[in-house]
Amino acid sequence: MCFTQEGRSLTEILQLRMHQMVDSFFNNHRHQPEGQEQEQVALLQLEDDFNEALLDAAMDLHYQNSNQDSSPLLPEVRQELRSRVRRSSVLSLEDQSPEGCSPKESFCKRALRSFQRLLSCLWQKWQAALAWLKKTLAAGVQALCRAVEAIWSVFNDFCSFMAQVIRSAIQA
């Protein structure tokens, strides 16, 4: 992966990469012999490619935006995020709608319908992953806050005790 193209932001490069994947998909499969199974395999590969591009860009952007004040994503969180957006069976052949089975339908119409379904599945999968990530990070931040509050309480008690000891020593 190369996200260091001169003068382009990570999001611009991601958009370009996704456009290239779609162009490649249509160019490679437009003149292929008809076959729903081949088209489904190609769509599953496109889904994998989209997921990898989105994951890579998300990790790169997170790394780029991280500073010493923010903590990096834990490897377990990164791995769980990856597993949540990896390929699922949502684009299986059984999911084909009955109206999409016309043998006279052009490749472009079939591909467009399948591509719309692919985008919908990706959108749902990434929405669910984002909701999980927000919930996980919020729980982690809350746990960290509780730990810091507990430590602060111990430190506060220590300071109060030391103040009493110092006052007693001064009065003596």
Cβ-contact 55, 81 below 8 angstroms:
yes
Q: What is the chain's pLDDT, residue by residue, as a tens digit (172 residues)?
A: 444 455 678 888 989 999 999 888 888 877 766 666 777 788 888 889 989 998 888 888 877 776 655 566 678 888 888 888 886 655 554 455 545 556 677 777 877 888 888 888 889 989 998 999 899 888 888 887 888 888 888 888 988 999 999 988 888 7
Determine, yes or no, domain membership for 141: no
Containing structural domain, residue 70: 10-133
Determine, yes or no, domain membership for 145: no
Determine, yes or no, domain membership for 170: no
> Helical H runs in 30-106?
36-65, 75-85
Determine, yes or no, domain membership for 129: yes
User: Which DSSP string do the residues of 110-136 spell out, in sequence order?
Assistant: HHHHHHHHHHHHHHHHHHHHHHHHHHH
Determine, yes or no, domain membership for 154: no
This prediction's pTM: 0.70
Q: What are the phi and psi torsion angles at 104 (to 5°)?
A: -90, -5
Determine, yes or no, domain membership for 1: no
Domain count, the chain: 1
Can you tell me the distance from the alpha carbon of 36 to that of 39, in angstroms, rounded to the nearest whole number? 5
CA 117 to each of CA 34, 45, 74, 120: distance values in angstroms, whole numbers, following the listed order = 19, 14, 32, 5
- In degrees, rounded to 5, the angle at the alpha carbon of residue 50 between the alpha carbons of residues 25 and 109 is 40
Determine, yes or no, domain membership for 168: no
Determine, yes or no, domain membership for 43: yes
Cβ-contact 53, 25 below 8 angstroms:
no
Chain-centre distance for alpha carbon 104: 38
